[in-house]
Structure 1
Amino acid sequence: MRDAVARFARDHRLDPGPWCVALSGGADSLALTIAAAGLRPTTALIVDHGLQPDSRAVAAAAREQAIVAGCTAAQVIPVQVEGAGGPEAAARTARYRALEQARDGRPVLLAHTLDDQAETVLLGLGRGSGARSIAGMRPLDPPWCRPLLGVRRALTRAACAQAGLTPWQDPHNRDPRYTRVRLRTEVLPLLEDVLSGGVAEALARTATALREDNDALDAMAAAVLSGLGEEPDVAALTELPDAVRRRVLRGWLLAHGACGLTDTHLRAVDALVTAWRGQGAVAVPSTGRRVRLFAGRRGGCLRLYSEPV
């Protein structure tokens, strides 16, 4: 485990200074904490979501285990989970916000494993979210570091046992009401059986390959986007390959206040370029409150405008 973390730090040329680790108390994050603390000064950041009656006790126990594992500091951060998108999305948003505020400029190690990556790819496939979603989680997305994306969960449990530490068993990880739980306990085991094993590793490899392709296409789109005006010329956009053009449109929309874009939004805006029949403007979600953002076509160019709600 420690070798995987050390190799990650070396391969990604992380600054040799202190770092943080996000610790839930579960096997994955506890194993990561043990490995990280053995390499350099480590601060454990323990986010207490307050979603379970014993959450304060779980957080306190995780703090104690972090100190036993060799962390130089361990901080419990209570958060309030609220907002749109359901409890999982709201908890994730609150967690990342808390980690960002507490990290004090240091990188944060996250304990996502190869199994988590496989589940993410399956979720993306099932939702038809496109290549960007199927590409899974990035190993390094500063300040977030995921050194265990090549490590199976079985190894994290073994690392905790070897260190003599007992990880917390989150009851949510066994609750079939959560999609990821059913993927983990029903879908992936069935796929492993039907396809004679190696499915999780294959899905993780797929994510890596797609991420490399995405990065290349994103770089091509960025080069085009840098020379794009406020109102892009439709004729120039038409000459681009489909995958590059939609990335250019995505970048243009995001740069002008769009947010939460889906494949449906992008294809509707793309149709203003490739399937023009005089159709009206396309509404896209935006960061502005009390306004709606629209992408339309006028005089051979695309334009964005907003209207009050």
Structure 2
Amino acid sequence: MEKTVNNKVNLQEQVRKLKEQKNAVILAHYYQEPEIQEVADFIGDSLELAKKAAQTTADIIVFAGVHFMAETAKILNPSKKVLLPDLKAGCSLADSCPPDAFRKLKEKYPDHAVVTYINCSAEIKTLSDIVCTSSNAERIINSIPKEKPIIFAPDKNLGRYLMEKTGRKMLLWDGACIVHEAFSLDKLLEVYKQHPSAMIIAHPESEDHILKVANYVGSTSGMLHYVKSSEHDTFIVATEAGILYQMQKDVPHKTLIPAPAKEDNTCACSECAFMKMNTLQKLYNCLKNEDPEIILEKELMEKAHKPIKKMMELS
């Protein structure tokens, strides 16, 4: 056990040294392993990290997250080197929206404004009028004239939630995040019976039956803020379990319970296998070797930048 700790501490120290030597910045999503969050310069949700990526003066950006996030950082910083610890760290939601199929849908409805959730590929972003995150999606939808019909992709659960919140009817792409669709309502209610004073908080990527029983629905950063500012002391958290590390740091005196997944697994919670593909060792290797690097064509980056820029202006 001692050897593992020493390895971790040593690797973290090497990562910090390399960051300084190479003028690199590490951006990490809340769903990353704690040992990665500990060496990150910025930890956040998709919107916060997109803003940090746009503002950074570093020469190298290491994105400890998934592929579409690193792509977004590259689109916002075309002249900088953007690295991802594991190129296979994809996203089930982004994969659920193939560009060719989405292009065909868009061609069928040429009068529709296309709003895409940031959890999509760079190519899907080039087919969008504006991008959104779960933090700003309601504001983005409300910014579009009421008479303008909307295609919303790729997350049908977030889309349904936004239709309810904004009163706008939208044409929804049939995509979803396997992590947020893995929560079991029956198991959740069993946990709630054991903790009847608990507040249930959920990410809007979750299915409708989970959102209906939630006391609070919001983005990753919104959930963190809610737990910090709430007078309650027990929370059942329906999002990827990686958020619990930062959340517990913010509220060490409160009780946090991960919402249970349908499948039996070791943590009895819902984890994103793609997010967990990044490890501290891979982070060190990628910073040391400056590889794997995110490479995108110039024309694609220019097209994808426009809907992201629109989002940033509204955020």
Give the greater-gyration-radius structure (CA).
1
**Higher relative contact order, chain-length normalized (CA < 8 Å, sep 6+):** 2
TM over 0.5: no
Structure with bigger helix share is: 1
TM-score grouping bracket, smaller chain normalisation: under 0.3
TM-score, length basis structure 1:
0.23
TM-score, length basis structure 2:
0.23
